[in-house]
């Protein structure tokens, strides 16, 4: 379980990234983070992964307080995988293969096991054909897939996806959806930041709405995303399925257009 208490994080030049964040996340849950540009979603993920050390507050993971020391940060990076919003920040090795191998290598796996892991996750993402390419030769969407493979290859318990569908074509969006479902089925905790209300409404167990570095609501998709006032606060439309059900005068709690159609 993740527990954050009164977390405050300001960037070195003074901008407030997170302002008094308190949040609990159950093990194995699916949590979507919504909010306008600059609301603090990525800043929050960077704290959760141990990259940003908050100036105030407490971060407790599985009952143990995280102190942000160099050793703890290294351990944290293995426990909490973070797929950055921008893959250019994540990828650095000379080839895709080396990039995906970096995490397993740092876990201390031997050569054979590293090879098995890399092959497994390149296959999972359906990007085996890219393995000898240099990351800078790839398209943006391909870079994102390599970044995902690199994080998953460390097999972390908690995975933070920052805008996982951005730049992906339909086929790879589909693959990403299946991967995310599968991770949850394995009991992993998955946190996703997204600007897509329809995805969040259908997928999440819990939704966190953020504005100006604060959490303005954290509850079930129905309690957060059917609330017009809250959604307006974060500059977002209600999910399409909610709008459609209202327009049709249906009292309906379908979480996707597809399930709404089935029930009609």
Residue 40 contact partner, candidates ligand ATP, Mg ion, none, CB within 5 to 8 A by sort of partner: ligand ATP
Shortest separation between residue 13's beta carbon and ligand ATP, angstroms: 6
- For residue 127, CA distances in Å to 7, 24, 46, 79, 123 come to 38, 35, 27, 25, 6
Q: For strands 189-193 and 64-65, give the pairing.
A: unpaired
Nearer to ligand ATP, 25 or 122 (CB): 25
* Whole-number Å distance between alpha carbons of 207 and 31: 6
Q: Does 41 bind ligand ATP (CB under 6 A)?
A: yes
**In the chain, alpha helices (H):** 41-48, 70-79, 87-90, 96-106, 111-124, 140-152, 170-185, 197-203, 221-225, 228-233, 240-247, 257-263
CA terminus-to-terminus distance, the chain: 39
Q: Candidates 63-71, 80-88, 124-132, 207-215: pick the segment binding Mg ion (CB under 5 A).
A: 80-88
* Whole-number Å distance between alpha carbons of 126 and 174: 11
Q: Does 194 bind ligand ATP (CB under 6 A)?
A: no
Nearer to Mg ion, 37 or 70 (CB): 37
Nearer to ligand ATP, 15 or 75 (CB): 15
Q: Does 42 bind Mg ion (CB under 5 A)?
A: yes
Nearer to ligand ATP, 52 or 117 (CB): 52
Q: Candidates 35-43, 115-123, 180-188, 198-206: pick the segment binding ligand ATP (CB under 6 A).
A: 35-43
Instruction: State the residues that interact with ligand ATP by CB under 6 A.
Output: 11, 13, 15, 17, 35, 37-43, 85
Contact residues toward Mg ion (CB under 5 A) are: 41-42, 85
């Amino acid at each position: 379980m993740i527990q954050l208490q009164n977390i405050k994080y300001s960037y070195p030049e003074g901008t407030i990234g997170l302002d008094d964040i308190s949040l609990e996340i159950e093990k194995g849950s699916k949590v979507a983070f919504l909010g306008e540009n600059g609301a603090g979603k990525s800043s929050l993920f960077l704290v959760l992964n141990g990259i940003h050390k908050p100036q105030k507050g407490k971060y407790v993971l599985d009952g143990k307080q995280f102190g942000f020391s160099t050793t703890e940060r290294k351990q944290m990076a293995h426990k909490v995988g973070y797929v950055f919003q921008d893959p250019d920040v994540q990828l650095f090795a000379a080839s895709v293969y080396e990039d995906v191998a970096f995490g397993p290598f740092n876990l201390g796996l031997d050569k054979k096991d590293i090879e098995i892991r890399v092959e497994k996750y390149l296959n999972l993402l359906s990007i085996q054909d890219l393995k000898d390419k240099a990351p800078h030769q790839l398209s943006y969407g391909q870079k994102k897939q390599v970044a995902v493979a690199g994080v998953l290859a460390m097999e972390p318990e908690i995975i933070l996806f920052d805008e996982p569908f951005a730049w992906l074509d339909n086929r790879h969006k589909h693959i990403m959806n299946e991967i995310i479902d599968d991770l949850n089925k394995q009991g992993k905790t998955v946190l996703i930041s997204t600007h897509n209300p329809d995805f969040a409404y259908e997928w999440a167990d819990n939704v966190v709405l953020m504005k100006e570095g604060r959490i303005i609501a954290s509850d079930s998709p129905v309690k957060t995303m059917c609330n017009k006032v809250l959604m307006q606060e974060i500059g977002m439309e209600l999910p399409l399925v909610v709008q459609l059900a209202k327009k049709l005068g249906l009292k309906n709690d379908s979480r996707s257009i597809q399930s709404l159609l089935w029930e009609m």
